Amino acid sequence: MKKYDLVVIGAGPGGTPAAMAAAQFGKSVLLVDKRDAPGGECLFEGCIPSKVLENAANRFAMLKEMKAFHVDVEGKEQIHWKAVLEDKKQILKRRSMGAMKQMERFPNLEFRKGTARFIDIHTIDVDGEQIVFDHAIIATGATAFLPPFEGNGVQNAWSNAEVFRKNDLPGEITFIGAGAISCELVQMFNKLGTKCHLLERGERILKHIDEESALVVQEKMIRDGINVELNVTFGKIEGEEGAFLVSYEQNGEVKKLDTPYLLIATGRAANVEGLGLEEIGVVFDRHGIQVDETLQTTQENIYAVGDCTVGPKFAHWATYEAGIAIHNIFAPMKHKTDISKLSWVLFSDPQIASVGLSEEEAKKKGLEVAIERYDYAIDARAQLDKAEEGLLKFVIEKESGIIRGIQIVSEDASSLSGEASLIVANELKAMDVMKTIHPHPTLTEGFGKLAQQVFFKSMMQARR
């Protein structure tokens, strides 16, 4: 019976770096995944495929916007969908094989395709073979959660995993749910000329995101011709690919929508079924495995990271957690996760980037905060790019003056998120940000100008 220092279940953005980090420590490691190669859902169905589509959609939309910059493009714009899919395939293959080559540098790291199940807290079964370990990390990720809608159509609908498998560009798609996945995809397909409907139970899109930021994107969707239906109560969903019928009620009116394609994105469910967690006393529910701040489960030698845990579900957060878990398993001093400095980007139009605490999150923590805004409508770079929609927002703790959170809504918010992350991670104040000289004309100037605004405002208040 084989024995390893560490067994890692799941080879996504949490499991793969965890396995390689442990191998660098000189530990014997087994990395198990149901797929043929590492990458996880982020690589094969999530973050990377959607960004291939985003690139194609944005460049296609740019052709249509050339007239705003006094440029005529001869001929009719067209998108070669099959070529986009082939591009996606090649990028996925390149990245997955790249990870395999990195792992091959470690003779003490073994990758195995298979299905793992715990027998006890020191033994797993992988397709009939029992393997013993000292420690384990569970990094099995999450998949689309399908709510219990009535009708047979739910089982035939797409999730984010299936949407890229269609060889022809869909002419019309209905999206159910207005979270991050739907909002990114609906705008991308709309730019490519697909007729898009977005149905949401709540009173606005992106209910877990800063409301001011979300509404900028919502208004842009509507202006761009996306049919956004809010305050929806769903009835039956019937049909199959090519002919769905969605019944719903809105403001007391019963409505029906015929749509050839249907994508349901109403949340994520942790991949915990079939792992045998019940038998070994690891506590979990649909939302994920219960871990403490050190990422230890209810069994001291078993840790869990990434989307399979109760907590944020981002690829980069999973990678961050992987480093902490490995440190806590093999190093003498324990480290804790710090969600107050989490950053993320929504690749909507305009993009939304968030670092640290939002105003609502700060208040829930009992912090008294001040909110300061910079409107990109007055920004030189934004005006030059004809991308004036958006804002930069500081969430400042009043007592200390520390910038505890930053929200950015901009055409290029993803590129600005790095500076925002450094500001929050290093607990900088407005005066610290003012010391940075930002080149002109760039969107990064907004940080300096907002910091200056905060500084002079505090000076005026002090004089009073």
Q: What is the set of active-site residues?
A: 440
Residues 324 and 295 sit within 8 Å (Cβ to Cβ): yes
What are the CA-CA distances from residue 168 to residues 89, 164, 194 (Å)? 15, 10, 11
**Interatomic CA distance for residues 439 and 437, integer angstroms:** 7
Residues 166 and 84 sit within 8 Å (Cβ to Cβ): no
CB atoms within 10 A of CB 307: 29
Q: Is 264 strand, coil or helix?
A: strand
In DSSP notation, 74-133 reads: -S-----HHHHHHHHHHHHHHHHHHHHHHHTT-TTEEEEES-EEEEETTEEEETTEEEEE
**Interatomic CA distance for residues 22 and 14, integer angstroms:** 13
Report phi then psi at 402, rounded to 5: -75, 140
- The amino acid present at 324, given as its one-letter code, is I
Place of tokens 């925002």: 420
Q: Copy the structure tokens of residue 454.
A: 């905060």
Which helix or strand (DSSP H or E) is residue 3 part of? strand 3-9
Angle subtended by helix axes 180-191 and 211-223, to nearest 10: 30
Q: Copy the structure tokens of residue 341.
A: 């400095």
Q: Copy the structure tokens of residue 91.
A: 């990028």
Residues 267 and 313 sit within 8 Å (Cβ to Cβ): no
Residues 28 and 330 sit within 8 Å (Cβ to Cβ): no
**Interatomic CA distance for residues 395 and 410, integer angstroms:** 17
Torsion of the alpha carbons at 40, 13, 188 and 148, rounded to the nearest 10? 60
